Every structure is written in C-alpha cells, then in structure tokens.
Amino acid sequence: MKKLPRRLPPGVDIVRLAGNIGAEIRGVDTTGPLDEEVVATVRAALLAYKAVFLRDQALTYAGQVAFARLLGDLTLGHPIFEAPGDKPHLREIDSADGTRANHWHTDLTFLDRPPAFSLLHSVVVPPVGGDTLWANTASAYADLPPELRDLADRLRIVHSNDSDYTAATVVTAHRDFVSTVYEAEHPAVRVHPETGERSLLLGGFARSVAGLEPQASRDLIRVLQDHATRPEHTVRWRWRPHDLAIWDNQATQHYAIFDYGGEHRRGERVTVAGPAPVGVDGRVGVTLRGDASRYHTGEAA
C-alpha cells in the first residue's frame, strides 16, 4: 500500500471509513485551482484507500473534467453510448434512462484497457436509498488461501459486454449496449502499475476462464468473485447531492444498490485512461473483439 504523506496540506483531513477500503477527504475544493501538494495528497489517498469521497463539490462539467485531468489523460464518456452534445468525456448515469448498476463490476473490463480511475459526481439523489458499495480487490487477493491464490495467479479471464452484468442491470438500453460486442482477455490477477499490489480482476463482465469448460469457468469465477466481495473488503457510501467519489478502477469493484423504486437518481462520470492490465507472469490484457481505439484516445469524432 502506498504511504500517505506524513503531514497533510494545511486544512486537509482524511478520515477512514472502513477497515480495508474507503476514506473521506475533507478540506479540498475540486472546483478551483489546486496546488501540486494537494493533488499529490488526493492521489496518494486514492491509491492507499482505493475509494475516496469529497462532500459539497458543486462541479460543472468543465470543472469535473479539469480536476480529472490532474489525475491523467481522459477517455471518452463511454465506448458504446454517445456523450451528450459538447461533453465528450461525460457518461450520464440516470435512472430515468432505465440503466442500473446493481451488480458487482469493475468499469469496462470488456476493453483491453479499462479506465484507471473513475470520478462520479452526484447530481440527483433519491430521498432514501441509492447507496453504492465498493470492494477492495487487493485486500481480497491477499486474503485468499495460498492454494487458491496460486491458482488465480495463472488464470486468464474473458470479459464481455454481453454478460450477466448486462442482462441484470441494463434495462431499456440492453439492445444498444450489445449492438457492438466487445471482448477482452485479462489476467485474473493484475499487478497495479503504481503500487505493485496484486488484485483480483473479475466482476460482472467476467464471462469465462480461458481454457476451461463452461461449467468449470462459472464455478471458479463464482468462488473468486464471492471472496472478492465479502463484506470485510467493502465500504458503503450514502450519497448527498454534489458528492464526488473517486475510485481506483484497477483495484476495486462497485455495486450501486437499487432500492429507491421509481425515485430519480442521477450522476455524472468521467474516467481517466488506464494501461492494459498486466498479470503476475507479465502477460497483458488483449482485445478479442471490438475496436475501442477512439474511446481510449478521448477524442470525439
């Protein structure tokens, strides 16, 4: 785990939220200019705690993009869905569109290069419900029994947007979501490019284990996935309007709880481009189907 600075910048405080993941960062205003020390502190906290949260961030689209760029180059909003108008980096997550995310997943693992970091800004929050859970897949890997950890180190997993996640969470947009099929093969255990930690790379887009029969694939993925999302590895965030959540997509999964019925829930997400996952053996994730090159560059057509 990457160490936090011994001394935090003046006015900044970091409050841990759970034993293995999650922290609230206080005293940082992401809507305005930030000095390098504050940005470095946010990044260090993100890498250490995997998911960090900042209250009362009244971000515009331009402000969210400007802050996200302090963490790296940006992708387009989504490889499949078009972004709204003049906001190419935005992915609107709106319950009014019939799309939910109530299934454990790591963002866009059906691509050869899933995002490194995701930043979700809450705009509309239901009066009750709509919390999100995050799981630390690095602590989950570390807690595996040695025999299962050794096996996981050698596995390769095929991820697809045409998966259990799609069937369970994408409602009215299902046909559009699978209109172009994307598949990628990744190591089941990835080595983090900054921290060097090993973490499980699974989630709802994980469809099969390379080289195994379907039943054996399902059983093995289920065992590893159930372990990754044990409550001991999780944190739960109760949203307020203008909260900003940032998570390390290279070492987490998340689950948006659908318990708010017909109430409105809306968030705006931008994502920081990431490298292809690298396994313990040095092999990288590869594309099997679909061309996401435009998404990776972050350049609108």
Would you please indicate which residues are annotated as catalytic (active-site) residues?
Answer: 105, 107, 254, 269
d(C-alpha 130, C-alpha 125), whole Å: 7
Strand 189-191 relative to strand 266-272: parallel, antiparallel, unpaired? unpaired
Six token digits for residue 267? 């968030």
What is the DSSP code (8-state) at residue 161?
A: S
Contacts of residue 198, Cβ cutoff 8 Å, sequence gap at least 6: 138, 141, 142, 153, 189, 190, 191, 192, 280
* 164-to-80, 160, 232 alpha-carbon distances in Å: 17, 9, 24
d(C-alpha 5, C-alpha 35), whole Å: 15
Helix, strand, coil percentages (3-state) for the chain, rounded to 5, are 25, 25, 50
d(C-alpha 127, C-alpha 224), whole Å: 35
φ, ψ at 284 (rounded to 5°): -105, 165
Position 3, amino acid: K
Are the beta carbons of 138 and 197 closer than 8 angstroms? Answer: yes
Q: Which residue has the tokens 């705006």?
A: 268
d(C-alpha 57, C-alpha 262), whole Å: 26
Nearest CA-CA partner of 31 in 3, 79, 4, 67: 67
Q: Is 212 helix (H, G, I), strand (E, B) or coil?
A: coil
Are the beta carbons of 159 and 186 closer than 8 angstroms? Answer: yes
